[in-house]
Amino acid sequence: MECIVKRRSQFSASHRYWLPELSEAENMQRFGRSANFPGHGHNYVLFISLLGKLDEYGMVQNFSYVKQVITREVINQLDYAYLNEVWPEFQQTLPTTENVARVIWQRLVGYLPLASIQLFEHPKLWAQYQGNGMEAYITIGTHFSAAHRLASPHLSYQENCKIYGKCSRPHGHGHNYHLEVTVRGEIEQRTGMIVDSEALQRVIDNYIVEPLDHTFLNKDIPYFAEIVPTAENIAIYIRNLLHQPIQELGVLLYKVKLNESPNNSCEVYCGEPSSLSAATQRRELVLADL
């Protein structure tokens, strides 16, 4: 039997986005405050996922060995370091979150059966790398608050109550929605980026957060006049809105995850925006913790 196990580590480090072949004005225009001297820092959180068959002791890998390898090959070298100078790989390609994840993979793959490297720069921005050349994933987390009522306009109040329970009450109820948007792209050889994270954040804010925040979805968003604003349908709506503007940034929308509450969440893995009916679209969903 194969299993995936995960090991968490952390380190603190600083870095600077700066290309010596560019002028100061060009660096500031491209990287903004991240180009400021002498740089800035993060408390990085690292998750190493390992894939393998269980051994005779019921383990994929002995975690004592895993910890030793990660500490020796990564943590001892990066903790309290200036990333631009600590490893030669960062002389060629800037130490962005996605590129740091890629290089950590390269440093560990000879010792461990890696499935994925996930590196959190902070709780609302993280990268994932799975060993596919220069391809990587970036996720941005954000939130909005909205009210909704789960009730089909084509059903009676009694019928809606039977299906949706308390969620069909006439005046609705609200949530603090936590949204995670994951994009996929190629790490640019010099900048180390798959996408300008500030540009990606603007797209998410302009297309999703500002229009949805503090609304009553059934009444304020025309899409939900006929479609019941379940978490699943909201995630599909967000996916369809973001697909094109994210593609215009040069990356692909990979996944939308919507946390309706600490207990309920759903994930939509993205292809082309779908014009399918809501019932058909729901079959595309991966539901978690329901």
Catalytic sites, residue numbers = 167, 214, 260
Dihedral sign computed on CA atoms, order 95, 203, 185, 269: positive
121 neighbors 97 (Cβ within 8 angstroms): yes
> For residues 140 and 125, is the Cβ–Cβ distance under 8 A?
yes
| Residue of 98, 123, 117 whose CA lies nearest to 183 | 98
Angle, helix 231-247 to helix 197-204, in steps of 10 degrees? 130
Cβ atoms within 10 Å, residue 6: 12
Place of tokens 């946390």: 259
Smallest CA-to-CA distance from 256 within 238, 241, 244, 278 is with 238
Quote the strand ranges of the chain, DSSP E: 2-15, 40-53, 81-82, 114-122, 125-129, 135-148, 173-186, 215-216, 252-259, 265-269, 285-288
Distance CA 107, CA 156 (A): 61
Q: Is 53 helix (H, G, I), strand (E, B) or coil?
A: strand
